Amino acid sequence: METSRKELPLARSMCWHCQSDIGGEYFCGQCVKVQPLSKDIDYFTCLGLPRKLNIDTVSLETKFYELSRAFHPDFYEGKSEMERAVSLANSAILNQAYRTLKDPIQRIEYLLRLEAGAAKDIPGKAPADLFETILEIQEHLEEFQAAKSQNDAASAARAADLLRNARKTLDAKRAALESRLAELFQIWDRLIEKGSHAQAHSAQKEQTLKEMRGLLSERTYVTNMLENIAEALG
């Protein structure tokens, strides 16, 4: 059976104002009214980007500014209530999209949510190779607090020194985790570029996401630990 060669328009919807068909763009081609972004739009699509992890932050900012000029409520003050509501909702989505994608860690967390349905906050997990160091740090933290509450300056100073040393280990671990993440960014982006749907390909994607998730989880743990130390040392 032969099917029509003509391509059917995808994702067509109607303008809320003049009911004419509109494409995926932000303004109706007929009446030029601003159109609401789809409720299910993802942040990559919102900012006109493929789902890659390496993003050129300068062009991201340019796109954000451009869309801000299109949607911001400042430019809809005298308009109808519906246009103002659309402007407000679109601006809110745009601002969250930009904030999320601008930061590499939030970007990967968001991608994991999109691709693997991960929870909003990935729980921290202690890196196995640092178990001993972590136990020591917890001990030193306790010693430091105890010494401080007993006004034992000498012990406090000793514990603080040990904590500063441990901080170096944690900093190095975090840097290592981040550099591996950067490598995975490259791997992920190449997989996206290939764009194949072959089974092996999607298994590879899944594997990459899983590793990224593990790295993020450890990174969260290390970051919390570093924050605790920073807080204690003041």
The smaller minimum CB distance to another protein, of residues 132 and 231, is found at 231
43 binds another protein (CB under 8 A): no
The smaller minimum CB distance to another protein, of residues 33 and 158, is found at 33
Cβ atoms of residues 215 and 180 within 8 Å: yes
Cβ atoms of residues 31 and 18 within 8 Å: yes
Q: How far apart are CA 217 and CA 135, in angstroms?
A: 18
78 binds another protein (CB under 8 A): yes
Q: How far apart are CA 233 and CA 167, in angstroms?
A: 11
Give the interface segment with another protein, choosing from 26-34, 73-81, 127-135, 188-196 (CB under 8 A): 73-81
Please give the structure tokens belonging to residue 15.
Answer: 């303008």
99 binds another protein (CB under 8 A): yes
Give the interface segment with another protein, choosing from 19-27, 66-74, 129-137, 223-231 (CB under 8 A): 66-74
> Which residues have C-beta within 8 Å of that of residue 38, sequence separation ≥ 6?
none
74 binds another protein (CB under 8 A): yes
32 binds another protein (CB under 8 A): no
The smaller minimum CB distance to another protein, of residues 68 and 133, is found at 68
Q: How far apart are CA 13 and CA 29, in angstroms?
A: 12
Q: Which of 12, 69, 164, 210: binder of another protein (CB under 8 A)?
A: 69
Cβ atoms of residues 114 and 53 within 8 Å: no
59 binds another protein (CB under 8 A): no
123 binds another protein (CB under 8 A): no
Q: How many residues bind another protein (CB under 8 A)?
A: 17
Cβ atoms of residues 93 and 41 within 8 Å: yes
65 binds another protein (CB under 8 A): yes
Cβ atoms of residues 78 and 87 within 8 Å: no
How many other C-beta atoms lie within 10 A of the C-beta of residue 64?
A: 19
13 binds another protein (CB under 8 A): no
Q: Which of 22, 35, 55, 98: binder of another protein (CB under 8 A)?
A: 98
The smaller minimum CB distance to another protein, of residues 87 and 208, is found at 87
Please give the structure tokens belonging to residue 180.
Answer: 């591996």
Give the interface segment with another protein, choosing from 87-95, 109-117, 177-185, 220-228 (CB under 8 A): 87-95
Give the interface segment with another protein, choosing from 2-10, 86-94, 157-165, 197-205 (CB under 8 A): 86-94
- Cβ burial 102-114 (10 Å sphere, 16+ → b, else e): eebeebbbbbbee
Query: Dihedrals φ, ψ of 72, to 5°?
Result: -60, 135
Binding site for another protein (CB under 8 A): 65, 68-69, 72-75, 77-78, 88-89, 91-92, 95-96, 98-99
